[in-house]
Structure formats: structure tokens, C-alpha cells
Amino acid sequence: MVEELIGAVVAAGAAGLVYLASAARVVKQYERGVVFRLGRLHGEARRPGFNIIIPAVDRMRKVNLQIVTMPVPAQEGITRDNVTVRVDAVVYFKVVDPAAAVVNVEDYRFAVSQMAQTSLRSIIGKSELDDLLSNREKLNQGLELMIDSPAVEWGVTIDRVEIKDVSLPDTMKRSMARQAEADRERRARVINADAEYQASKKLSQAAQQMADTPSALQLRLLQTVMAVAAEKNSTLVLPIPVELLRFLERGHQEAALQEGAQQDRQEGSRPAPAPGEQPVDTAEQAIDELRRAVER
């Protein structure tokens, strides 16, 4: 009798352990457990830790609440300015309502992936090539809004969407390279023209200053000679400015005029010629003296 009683207790204990093992469920910190009792949603999602369900009556499905990183396959499309491109992206999302993610959609991961692909193709068709290359932040926001609108009913929220890469045809790459080269060449020419304009203004001011002070031209010429001579060259080629020749010519003319005036004063102080003597043509003598002075 005692042995039968002990056997019954052991059998009951074993049955209890089996029941407890089949009814026990452990939910991790980043998970939530959705319980279905006889096919119906039962209560709220189970919290992390040790949970008990009724075997053969309840069924628990665990939902991960971590942020999921999902790459979007490259989508080929035509932009609004008729350029064929291939664009790929990445979507960051997480489940905020475990019950809705299990009940409202069959596979929320697959649904988010398909929605991201269709939204990416739609964004490509609505955008221009320059926007895809330089204004990605605005496109990312628009893409996030397009995916997040239907995902709210699935218990999923879109954390972030990023366009990773934009692949262009080789012909378009060459065209863009030529455009960039032409733009840089244009800027180089504008800078060079501006430099020439500023240099011409400075040269004009320097020329005006030298015209007011002719001796400044001689000093500048001497500075040039010193700069060239410092190189220890055996041959020195020295250009003579036209202004310097004009300065020397004016000096000779002034000297000749002074000498001619002095001779005229000397001729005027001589006594008048006696009657019967041939008068001297003072004008011709002055011209001859001026010619000799210029030749000297």
C-alpha cells in the first residue's frame, strides 16, 4: 500500500514537472510574447521574464522589439529629367505594437521590404538627378514618410531611411565629368580676367605717376638692371623705353634752345656793321647752332 502511494506521488510529481516544462515560457528583455488562447488574442503582450501558459490551449509567439536594419535592393528607374539610374537604400525600423505586428500583417519584415522598394522607385521617378546626388536629406525624409504611413497599421515604426548609392551610366559619368571640367575652366578664366583687370588698373596708376615724374622711369629702369645683373648673366639685354627716349629728346631740345638764345643775346650786343659791309643773317646762324647742338 505504501509502495503504491509512493509510486502515485512520484507519478504525480513527474506529471507536474512535465506540465510545468510544457507550460513555462521565458521571454527575453528585447522581446514581447503574444499569447493566443484557442486562436484568439489573449490579454496584453507578456513582459520579459518567466511566463506560464496553458499547454495545448495557449500558443505564444515572441516578437523582437530591437531595431532592424534592412537593406533595400537596388532599384532601377528613370528620373524626372529622363536619366536611368540604380538606387539602393537601407531602412531602420522596429516593432512598437507586438499584437498588431502579429495580427494585422502576415510577415511584417516582408511587408516593410516590399513597401520600401516600391517607395524607392516612386521617389526616383519624382526626383531629378541633381536631387538624388546632392539633396539626399530631403529625399530620405520623403521616403521615410512614404514607408511609415502604412507601417503604422502593422505596429511598426520607421526609425530612419538612408539612400546609400546612386549608380549612373558610363555615358552620364563622362558627361558630368566634362561639365565639371568646363565649369572649373570657366572659373579659372574669370579669375584670370579679374587678375588682368586689377593688374591693368595698377599699371595705369603707375604709368600716370611716371608721367607726372619722368625721373621715376629712370629709377625703375635702374632697378630692373640691378635685378637682372644679380643673376650673374654674361649677356644683358636691356630694352630702352620710348618714354626715356622722349625724355632725353626733350632735354636736348631744351639745351639747344638755351644755347641758341644765348648766342642771340651775344649777337645783339655786337656793334652794328659799318656801311658797305655785308649784314649777317642771324636767323640762319641760330638754326646752324641748334642743329650742331642736337648732333652733339
pLDDT tens readout for residues 82-106: 888 999 999 999 999 999 999 999 9
Please, are residues 32 and 44 in contact by the beta-carbon 8 Å criterion?
Answer: no
* Residue (of 180, 158, 177) closest to 169 by Cα position: 177
Cell output for 91: 531602412
Read out DSSP for 170-238?
Answer: HHHHHHHHHHHHHHHHHHHHHHHHHHHHHHHHHHHHHHHHHHH-THHHHHHHHHHHHHHHTT--S----
Backbone angles phi, psi at 159, to 5 degrees: -80, -45
Mean pLDDT estimate for the chain? 81
Please determine, for residue 140, whether its predicted confidence score (pLDDT) is greater than 80: yes
- Grid coordinates in use for 182? 568646363
- Residue labelled with grid coordinates 527575453: 28
- What global pTM score does this model have? 0.59
Which is higher by pLDDT, 252 or 108?
108
Mean pLDDT for 39-56 is 88
The better pLDDT of the pair 289, 186 is held by 186
CA 290, chain centre distance (Å): 74
Q: How far apart are CA 186 and CA 179, in angstroms?
A: 10
Which grid coordinates are listed for 203?
Answer: 599699371
Instruction: Give the mean model confidence (pLDDT) for residues 261-274.
Output: 61
Mean pLDDT of 111-127: 92
Helices (H), the chain: 2-23, 98-103, 108-126, 129-134, 136-151, 170-212, 215-229, 242-269, 282-295
Q: 39's torsion region: left (phi>0), alpha (psi -120 to 50) or beta?
A: left
Asked if pLDDT for residue 276 goes beyond 80, the answer is: no
pLDDT beyond 50 at 274: no
